[in-house]
Structure 1
Amino acid sequence: MNTTGDLLVFGAGGRVGRAVVAEATARGHRVTAVVRDPAKHQDLEGSSVRLVRGDVTDPESVAALAPGHAAAVNATARLDVPSVGHYTAAARALLAGLPEAGVGRLVVVGIATTLETAPGVRVMDAPEFPEEYRAFSQGHVAEFELLTAEAGQALDWLMVVPAMDLNAEAPVTGGYRTAVGTVVGGPGRIAHADLARALVDEALRPGHHRVQLAVASRV
């Protein structure tokens, strides 16, 4: 795995995407920041950041942007289209476009409501869980299932899942705690900067593969 190459970040204009761009460039990496409308995110562009228009749900767009990158991060979120439709379309496009371009590592951002609180019981399965949030969470469930079922050997992937309280105001601890597939014990919060640290770590120095990796700020 190339740990010194460029990082391709889809959804670079959002809070998580911006934090990933900042973390990667602070480590000396070059970043291709992919957004739907570059005119809205001109502040991202810099000496180490190339700002481009792209569509994570279009395999041709993914394949055109990906060559030369060590890894890709999908930090996109859409509230204007059905969640299942967006995340499955993105997963299919990334599964097709990244290997075609020779990129072998993908890290996607999940959501804490899909994690287990007990064997076989997810946060979103609670009877009192709001139905509108369950519908959005289902998009990440479908994404994870599709990646599990359809990713070939050419693409090593991971879903990094931030703690329930993903908070721009949370203290930055400079580290993170992890659990595989389950809610991380202890304080269930994480700062965007700490999440970005985990995402860049796993993109460029992979330690986990083809699972949900829950992350929470270091206590």
Structure 2
Amino acid sequence: MLSIIVFGAGGRAGRRIVAESLARGHRVTAVVREPARHPDLEGAVAGDVTDARQVAVLSEGHDAAVHAAARLDVPAAEFFPDAARALTAGLTQAGVPRLVAIGIGTTLEVAPGQAVHDAPDFPAEYRAFSLGHAAQIDVLRAAGEGLDWVLLVPPPTLLDDATDGTGAYRTNSDNQVLATGDTLFAYADLAIAVVDEVDQPKHHRAAIAVGPA
């Protein structure tokens, strides 16, 4: 049994990750900003993923951390790099060796050096959010060797939140968009990929595309 702390546990990905972790017999600390808004999330605790001190205090004694948090009321260019800085500092201070974070598919490349959000027809109103996500990667790459991290990046489409998925997924290691056809990747399968990277880490200090098998 491992001890896992999940930041952003109240979101669509976070809830699935908590459920998958518990189903495997792990101990889970579910962190949200306002526990009162999540009465169905057993044992939820309050925490700010952009506050390194809170991250350190909450994470102490855990084997791994998951970052599934997002905020729409804070500019993405601030939130995601700030969260990455707080996590790298706080987890290192707490002695937590592993971080599994979730990215966004529009940061993946359709060709070497060309991200989805760089396409001429990419909607301008979504580009800032994607660039904010991308900025966290530089922060993670600058983290010390004491923190082993991976950023799992699902396809640049909506994800399926209505089913329990297929129980399978695939990854690549070149930051390229995975071809998915008409298949929507399920949050449930993303959760499996996340907890697999906690249980038996396969990717290290890299952004990895993950999608339907």
Normalising by the smaller structure, the TM-score range is over 0.9
The alpha carbon displacement at 1:167 in A equals 1.8
Question: Aligned ranges for residues 100-119 of structure 1 at < 5 Å?
Answer: 100-119=93-112
Task: Check if 1:135 corresponds to 2:132.
Answer: no
Map of 2:78 onto structure 1: 85
Query: What residue identity is the alignment partner of 1:202?
Result: E
Asked if the contact 1:11/1:75 (under 8 Å) is kept, the reply is yes
Asked if the contact 2:79/2:132 (under 8 Å) is kept, the reply is yes
Query: What residue identity is the alignment partner of 2:100?
Result: V
The alpha carbon displacement at 1:179 in A equals 1.4
d(CA) in 2 for partners of 1:130, 1:122 = 13
Task: Check if 1:59 corresponds to 2:55.
Answer: no
TM-score normalized with structure 1 length:
0.93
d(CA) in 1 for partners of 2:147, 2:199 = 14
Of residues 190, 193, 199, the one that matches 1:195 is 190
Map of 1:26 onto structure 2: 23
Query: What residue identity is the alignment partner of 2:139?
Result: L
Structure 2, unmatched stretches of 5+, are none
The alpha carbon displacement at 1:184 in A equals 1.0
Task: Check if 1:40 corresponds to 2:33.
Answer: no
d(CA) in 2 for partners of 1:171, 1:216 = 15
- How well do the aligned residues superpose, as a CA RMSD in angstroms? 1.2
d(CA) in 2 for partners of 1:178, 1:185 = 11
The alpha carbon displacement at 1:189 in A equals 2.6
The alpha carbon displacement at 1:128 in A equals 0.5
TM-score normalized with structure 2 length:
0.95
The alpha carbon displacement at 1:212 in A equals 1.2
Q: After the TM superposition, which parts of structure 1 deviate over 3 Å for at least 4 consecutive aligned residues?
A: none
In the alignment of these two chains, the number of paired residues is 210
d(CA) in 1 for partners of 2:170, 2:163 = 15
d(CA) in 2 for partners of 1:54, 1:169 = 28
Query: What residue identity is the alignment partner of 1:198?
Result: A
Asked if the contact 2:5/2:66 (under 8 Å) is kept, the reply is yes
Map of 1:158 onto structure 2: 150
User: Identity percentage over the alignment?
Assistant: 56
d(CA) in 2 for partners of 1:152, 1:204 = 22
